[in-house]
Every structure is written in C-alpha cells, then in structure tokens.
Amino acid sequence: MVKKIGGRGRVMEQWNKLICCKLFISESRNRSALEAIEEAGRRWREAEAVIVNKLEDKAYNRVRYTIVSYCDIDGHNNNSSSSPLQQMVMAMVEAAFETINLENHSGAYPRLGVVDEILFHPLADASLHQAAMLARAVAIDLATKFQVPVYLYGAAHPTWKALDIIRRELGYYTPNSTGNQWAGWTVPEALPQKPNEGPISMSKERGIAMIGARPWIGLYNVPIMTTDISMAQKLAKMVSEKGGGLPTVQTLGLAHGDDHTEIACMLLEPNKIGADQVQNRLEKLGAQEGLHVKKGYFTDFSSEKIVEKYINLISAKKESPRSRL
C-alpha cells in the first residue's frame, strides 16, 4: 500500500501489518537507568523498530515506552526470533534488569516487577493472533533468559484470562507502605499462583512480569482535586464496570502529587465507551461529593496517530540514517 506522508508531499510504501508494544517499567526517577534502557532500544533503530512515545510519571515512579515495528509473523509459523520488535523489547528489558532493583523501588502505582507489564496490540492490518504469538514468544524468551515468572493474559493466554483477575490473585492492588505507596517486593517468594512461563519462585530484585495481547485499549487519567484517597477510590469504583458503573471500564483511584488524587481508567472498548462518557460520569459523581474533577488526559496517542508517527519516523530515518530518537 502506498501512502502520502503528512504535508511534506513525500510518498513511501507503508507496512500493511504493524505491532505496537507497550512496555511498562517500574522506574521514572533514576535518570541513568532510563538512559541505559533507551540506549539499548536505540541499537535497533536501523531494524525499523522505534519508540514512538514515552510517558514518565514521577509520582507513580513508572515509565511506559510505546514501541512499534512491522509484523514478520505469518500467522501459522512463529518466526518471531528474528522480529525487530522482539529483539528491541528484550534489549530494553535486559537493560532494565541490569539497572533497577525492585527492592529499592517505591511509588504510588501498583507493580509486581521491574518489567511490570508488556502489552502487544495489532495495528493496521496485523491480526490479534499475530500479536498474541509475539507476546508468547517474548514471555518464553524473558522467562528463560532472566528466570522471571511470567503470567500471560488476554489473547496470549490459553483461556483469555483477564489481567485484572491475575492481579487480584497476586495482591497487586493492595498498598504495602504508608501514604498509599507500593514499596519493595509485595508477594511471597513462593508464588500463590503458578506462572505460565518461568520458575514458581522469583528474585525480590526483579519480581514477576505480566505479558498479554489484546485489541487496542484507551488509557485515560482524570485528576480529582482532593487528597482523600478513600474518596478517589470510591469514585473510581462507581465509574467502573466492576462497581456497577460503565461497561468495559476498569479504574484505579491513586495518590498523585501533593494536592490531588487521580483516577486511572482503562477503556477496554474505547469505540463503545470512550473518554467523554467517563469524564461526564466522574464530573457528575464528583459534584455530588462537592469535589472538583479536572479534565482528564490520554496517556498515549490514538492507534491511528501511532501508525502515522511510526511511518514518519521510519521515513525520516531512511533519509537520515544517523538520526536518533
């Protein structure tokens, strides 16, 4: 397929099948660690795998890299060992394990591992099956190379087990430190649930990893102008499907900064229940409690924008091979 790129009038062949990986790492305050992780990723920039976005949150002490590359898995045979995306993700994972110790980590966002979550989405004409095959390949690679227990979810799991169910089984949602913080390791070394890949025990320095594949989801955070975490959690529950609120919406009420809390929302079917509906519901609920609910924000680009940014970045690299992200 041929596509005109933006307003620059250039034409290039667009990859028909792309996979997006969202790599969540439990660190955002250690600058040298982030630099090492990003440098490990840049080594693959000539292989048409690129970081198209990064979100750092100091209060949560968490970073997310949005990485995209073409899909070279044919849907029948898993040839992912040569996948630029798998190689880039594994290089960044290795750098994370080398520079981050979970025992020294604390933040206002739940986590169970240094490499806490890796999520694969199909983009353009790629299939969910292809994204799931890549997720399972990365899970085996990570578990084998680093001896880290891996729990699969979504399309990567044999029965499509949901991420939130796995997290509840492992105690993910319960803070273990003062001020609604998560600090150090939170789960017994003998895991309460057998992982899909890797050992049944783990190091406290690395923790575990959750790896999944699913259709595109929206990640939307809404600031609540109160420091009362119990009130934020109450509103979060009321807007979520689990609490009888909006279908396909999952939420977390979290401490965030000195003067407010935040409701982190996962929109599992954003084309059906989107950010506007979540925002309106929270504003109404907040008004009933006498609270000011600020305008929320997406933590990543839309899937269409990510594809556009990927094409533009690849096009720019073809013109200037020495360019860096």
For residue 121, the domain's CATH number is 3.30.990.10
Pick the last residue of a domain from 176, 198, 216.
Answer: 216
Query: Is 319 within a domain?
Result: no
Residue 213 pLDDT exceeds 50: yes
pLDDT of res. 298: 97
Confidence tier at 322 by pLDDT (50, 70, 90): low
Confidence tier at 177 by pLDDT (50, 70, 90): confident
β-pairing verdict for 62-70 and 209-213: unpaired
139 plus 240 within the same structural domain: no
Nearby residues of 44 by Cβ (< 8 Å), 6 or more positions away = 84, 87, 88, 91
CA atoms of 155 and 131, how far apart (whole Å) = 8
203 plus 244 within the same structural domain: no
147 plus 51 within the same structural domain: yes
Query: Is 322 within a domain?
Result: no
Average pLDDT over residues 300-314: 93
Nearby residues of 41 by Cβ (< 8 Å), 6 or more positions away = 49, 51, 65, 67, 88, 91, 92
Strand partners, 261: 224, 255
Poorest-confidence range of 120-124, 132-136, 198-202, 303-307? 198-202
**Short-list 109, 95, 103, CA closest to 167:** 109
The number of folded domains in the chain is 2
146 plus 95 within the same structural domain: yes
**Short-list 116, 113, 93, CA closest to 102:** 113
Query: How many angstroms separate the Cα of 202 from the Cα of each of 104, 113, 199, 206?
Result: 16, 10, 7, 7
pLDDT of res. 315: 81
47 plus 176 within the same structural domain: yes
Confidence tier at 13 by pLDDT (50, 70, 90): very low
pLDDT > 70: what percent of the chain?
Answer: 89
pLDDT of res. 48: 84
56 plus 197 within the same structural domain: yes
pLDDT of res. 139: 98
CB 195 within 8 A of CB 150: yes
pLDDT of res. 72: 74
Query: Is 132 within a domain?
Result: yes
Task: Please report, as a single letter, which amino acid is at residue 99.
Answer: T
Residue 162, classed as helix, strand or coil, is: coil
Query: Is 113 within a domain?
Result: yes
101 plus 176 within the same structural domain: yes
Residue 3 pLDDT exceeds 50: no
Give the range of the structural domain holding residue 75, as residue numbers without chain letter.
Answer: 2-216
Pick the last residue of a domain from 167, 182, 216.
Answer: 216
222 plus 212 within the same structural domain: no
173 plus 224 within the same structural domain: no
208 plus 267 within the same structural domain: no
CA atoms of 128 and 230, how far apart (whole Å) = 37
Query: Is 314 within a domain?
Result: no
CA atoms of 182 and 177, how far apart (whole Å) = 6
pLDDT tens sequence across 250-273: 999 999 988 899 999 999 999 999
Burial of 175 (0-12, 13-18, 19+ CB in 10 A): middle
pLDDT of res. 82: 63
Mean pLDDT of the chain: 90
Q: What is the pTM of this model?
A: 0.91
249 plus 113 within the same structural domain: no
Domain of residue 287, CATH code: 3.30.70.670
156 plus 255 within the same structural domain: no
pLDDT > 90: what percent of the chain?
Answer: 76
Query: Is 273 within a domain?
Result: yes
Nearby residues of 316 by Cβ (< 8 Å), 6 or more positions away = 323
Poorest-confidence range of 15-19, 192-196, 223-227, 302-306? 15-19
* Radius of gyration, alpha carbons of the chain: 20
Pick the last residue of a domain from 165, 183, 216.
Answer: 216
Q: Scan for tokens 């087990």, then name that residue.
A: 161
